[in-house]
Amino acid sequence: MQLKMTRRALALTAFAAAALVTACGGGGGSATPAKQSISRLIVAGDSLADVGTFGAKFTVQNAASPQAGYPIYPEIVGANFGLSGQCPFFASTNGTAFTTRAGCTNYAVGDSAIANPAAKGGTAAPFSVPMQLATALQVAGGAWTPTDLILVDGGGNDARDLITAYLGLAGGAAGLAAYQTFLAQVLPPATIAATLPQPNGPAIAAGLYMTALADSYYNTLKTTLLDKGATHVAVLDMPDVSLTPRFKAVLGQVATAQGDAAAATLQAAIRTWISAFNTELANKVAGDARVAIVPFYADFTDEVANPAAYALTNVTTPVCPAVGFPASCLDTTLNAAPPAGAAAGWFSTYAFADGFHPTPFGHRLLAASISRALARAGWL
């Protein structure tokens, strides 16, 4: 109980600090020297960090201010440092052709991954987190300054893709071939050939994949950030995607078809794979004061397990309609048809906008997790 209340108290403290900085214009005073040391926020990642590449953020839409929308976590973190004006560097109307916007420092693109598959352009497309970071470095002139804060999130879609490929093994020879192709994105062919025939080989291979993915991710962070002068790099670790409505539904389908034990085994395997990634990433950056790991896995898991401690009333049901997300998910529409017994604003205490993305309040909680990590690093 003490752990839950402590995290909740810290979250509220982070919200209060953000409000204070905004009210003061990010202004000085000896009480906030760290805020003065950050003059630019650079963001790379997936839909969680995307401020509008495709015209809308991946959360509930603000009908009263569609262009600004509700703030998502990079904007909230930026406000903690008195920084505003996050805008998407990449823009697209079809997910195929992209234009760029000079002056924008948010390179995140919805549906991005650390290992972006060749079918979506591989490392040459904005759907690749490494490509985003390489582009950001190029735009920055090939070097970073001590006043840059670089915020990176990635891995959720990689976990999604791994789980999907693993479940495809039920499709027989075609599923096995597809799984081998997927694994080959980061694993050597010899490793795949030696691992898959083993007892429980496909699950073992998934763990090796996640470890290798973390190594690849770190190498990207090192070559595009740390080796180029970055001194403030905040990296979100990978959350437990099995707790999202999307994958709870998948686990429910497995339970219906194969029994509860099979679903529990799959969920345990997913958590093992994700933990392999997080452990390897943590080991790679251990002792490097230039990198702050945000414990997204631990904080998100605690929010789902103990929602009341975070003022959440629902951590299972998406608030948005399944069709047309995110553009179709207007706050006015939600308020016009609240659940039985609920009042306007009911969605503000729910965790999930859709099956995979947070509500505006979920973004506040994620921003609080990041702020705590930055504070522990001495940057906030």
Q: Return the biggest CA–CA distance within the chain.
A: 66
**Phi, psi dihedral angles at 44 (to 5 degrees):** -135, 150
Average pLDDT, the chain: 91
Q: What is the structure's pLDDT at 97?
A: 96
Whether pLDDT at 19 is above 80: no
> Could you give the percent of the chain with pLDDT greater than 70?
91
Spell out a b/e string for 204-228, using b for 16 or more CB atoms within 10 Å of the CB, else e: ebbbbbbbbbbbebbebbbebbbee
- Given a contact cutoff of 8 angstroms between Cβ atoms, the answer to whether 45 and 153 are in contact is yes
90-91 and 99-100 strand pairing:
antiparallel
Q: What is the structure's pLDDT at 36?
A: 47
Q: What is the structure's pLDDT at 322?
A: 87
CA 270 to chain centre: 17
Whether pLDDT at 164 is above 80: yes
Separation CA 313–CA 135 (nearest Å): 40
In degrees, to the nearest 5, what angle opens at C-alpha 31 toward C-alphas 28 and 33? 60
**152-163 pLDDT, tens per residue?**
999 999 999 999
Whether pLDDT at 183 is above 70: yes
Q: What is the structure's pLDDT at 85?
A: 80
- Given a contact cutoff of 8 angstroms between Cβ atoms, the answer to whether 195 and 120 are in contact is no
Whether pLDDT at 17 is above 80: no
20 or 13, which is more confident: 13
**350-369 pLDDT, tens per residue?**
999 999 999 999 999 999 99
**102-144 pLDDT, tens per residue?**
999 999 999 999 999 999 999 999 999 999 999 999 999 999 9
Whether pLDDT at 10 is above 90: no
Per-residue confidence at 149, pLDDT binned at 50, 70, 90?
very high
Task: Give the tokens for residue 291.
Answer: 């990198």
Separation CA 116–CA 123 (nearest Å): 6
Closest CA to 77 of 365, 278, 377: 365
Whether pLDDT at 82 is above 50: yes
Place of tokens 């729910």: 350
Q: What is the structure's pLDDT at 84?
A: 84
Q: What is the structure's pLDDT at 18?
A: 38
- Given a contact cutoff of 8 angstroms between Cβ atoms, the answer to whether 63 and 55 are in contact is no
Separation CA 334–CA 321 (nearest Å): 9
